[in-house]
A and B are shown apart, each in its own frame.
Chain A
């Protein structure tokens, strides 16, 4: 029996259209807009001025606090201006706009393809390097990686879990990375293990990627302490709490962090970025992005410099198809719909999904027939229909009591509802309200 999480989940059509497309390098654009906030936490502080000349990999904005991350220039050229630019979240953010000139890299970066396996540095130095390189969780959460490597007092990491699940339909960037950069990734995992002082790491991969499972299983023989764990294809297998339960059978308590059960989870892309930062001195300024959709001419996986406009990426895949209704940053289950393609690719952009108009429209909402399908599929054991009802009536106290904050916003409830009710919309609203109320309470 394949490992999986104990309750709930759905199985949307996988649609991995770009699964066997090799990583291609997207040409550097003429101009990039690099937001200073590409992570969760405090925005970085800009350290360059207009007209400054920058090189690829040079720092342009410095981490603004503990939970924050450095931002490096993805291109070489001249700073054109510092201005507010709309990013993929739909908000205007301070950004450094750079006019590209040539492609000159910082000398410290090792640009060779050679695999460097050995490392001999302390945990503290590793964490420092990762922090300097501006690495954040590349699975989409963009939580600064160094913070997760420094567990709070009184907790002790026991295992590292590497998330190679990629349970979102359509997306393939993690998949292709595991195939093409498997070895580098394993070195990265060993570096992370050393940073955390653990001797065991599991790579969880959904069973719909047998090639990646075989490939890595073959390789891990040469890497002590790393095990590949195939998991069942079931959405949201890649949810942090779900994956921990599936792989090591421990349940993160409600309101708790993975470290409460001795686990730390990092994404496969993050592990690769760690390799590059520690072994090659290369900070995080580009990533693999999937561009996909049923109507897209050439779905594929591209290595994209941050700050490149989403429209450039779409152009490379054959342009915006006729009949496009929606363009999503991320996957269909948890991604964000864009209102323009004139937004920059950033650290959290795992994919761009184009949906035809007929699939983009919301369906007509029908009354709840109390079929309990939403309860069945909720991986957190919540009662989505009830939270929705409370949400409609703005009964936030009741929502809090019914554990609305445990919701991981996976969307399984809305997906499964036969009445097409926008359950998650109400839950999200409620979560925000309840979160605000709790914050207000604690400052009193």
Chain B
């Protein structure tokens, strides 16, 4: 008999792996990918490819030549960051800007902290916010969705127009009533399928929700973060709308437009940068929901999900410290 292996229990491990989880999230993004290509054509394809390829490449180069350790690109997390970054960009963004975004996301957002697991901020959002602050014009010029037209083959030369949220900000700035907004934006059904302006991954409400259901079924994420974000957005905007429907948009408008769904389902649920306990996840979600609306209504930007998530990312260590999971036998603790 050859030598027996001796190690402490458990002697059997589950079948989960980082790779499986990351590819699971990528898989959940496929419907969104189709919808975005359907509405934004060639531009979407170019931005996605350049973001994913450069993210993977940067991670490979940094692990190999700077950190000098075994490359981790195959675990899928770099590709995921690239794809999520792309989904947060307009489809007419020039390639070189996409590459800068990917560099900031991977190089600064992720690898400078030591790679997957150590980064405090969502890397894709670090990349996006960096671009937004440095190139505000390019980052807020939104192509109009144009399915089944020859414009599908356009890239940086497509027609642009305001997003529903841009319209909302303008309506509010001009002191016009919400009924005038209704005439300018697509109806809710169109919004749900994705026929509106915006970052090309955030428009596809329906497809994003399919992704959510898939991830819940596969136990990749739990419901706590997405539901608490969407719920708190609904409640907060609902109160404002009920109090003053002339000056505030209704909850459904807020949920379907901008990055709420993409943010709640795919960005805020990033393992590394979200809290560890269920209670923590709910507080974190509520924080994101409320901050997003505060920024949208009272802030300088028409959209606030990215900022809200990054701000709450910063609070995660605090949340983890104070919101522990409920211990078994806790109620009756002070026996000792």
Contacts and interface: CB of A to CB of B under 8 A. Distances in A.
A332 B325 contact: no
Interface of A: 6-7, 10, 12, 90, 169, 241, 245, 251-256, 260, 320, 324-328, 330, 332-341, 353, 355, 357, 359-363, 366-373, 375-376, 378-383, 385-386, 403, 406, 409, 411, 414-420, 422, 424-425, 428
B8 interface: yes
A385 B2 CA distance: 35
Contacts of A353: 11
A417 B12 CA distance: 12
Contacts of B271: 369-372
B11 A12 contact: no
A379 B2 CA distance: 37
B293 to A, nearest CB: 27
A320 B7 CA distance: 19
Interface in B272-288: 272-277
What does DSSP make chain A's interface, helix, strand, loop or mixed? Answer: loop
Contacts of A375: 276-277, 325
Interface in B1-45: 1-2, 4-14, 16-18, 20-21
B329 A254 contact: yes
14 contacts: A10-B14, A241-B329, A254-B328, A324-B4, A333-B10, A336-B9, A339-B4, A362-B7, A369-B21, A369-B272, A375-B325, A403-B327, A417-B16, A425-B8
B311 interface: no
A338 B4 contact: yes
Nearest to A11: B14
Contacts, number: 171
A369 B71 CA distance: 16
Contact of B327 (A245, A328, A360, A380): A380
A359 B5 CA distance: 11
Contacts of B75: 366
A198 B105 CA distance: 65
Nearest to A12: B12
B113 to A, nearest CB: 11
B75 to A, nearest CB: 8
Contacts of A253: 329, 331-333, 335
B276 A383 contact: yes
Contact of A328 (B2, B11, B14, B325): B11
B115 A169 contact: no
Nearest to B20: A418
A338 B20 CA distance: 32
A406 B328 CA distance: 8
